[in-house]
Structure 1
Amino acid sequence: IAAEYSECPSGKKGGDLGWFPRGKMAGPFQDVAFSTPVGATSAPFKST
């Protein structure tokens, strides 16, 4: 999905952002990232 629809440069890597600490990303993105279980995939969501 990321490779096809993402406007972020990471879309070319399938949306892989690598590791990042809590507090580095925008609120809604961070909320989903840190509430999704390890190894699971969240539902699509919009972030800015």
Structure 2
Amino acid sequence: MADCPRRTFAEPFVRLTMAYARFTSRLSHALEHVGLALAGWAGARLTTQLE
């Protein structure tokens, strides 16, 4: 594969997600707000549906 003349280019989406992140920053903020508003098991049940 080192001899292949083609190269893959991917533009980083810095505002959308962090490198190696599992969630977008938007989802992280949404989960944070749900956790602060509902707390406990109600928040946990709701956030499993959001992931």
Normalising to structure 1: TM-score of the pair?
0.29
Which structure: greater helix fraction? 2
Max Rg structure:
2
Normalising to structure 2: TM-score of the pair?
0.28
Choose between structure 1 and 2 for higher RCO, CA contacts under 8 A separated by at least 6 residues.
1
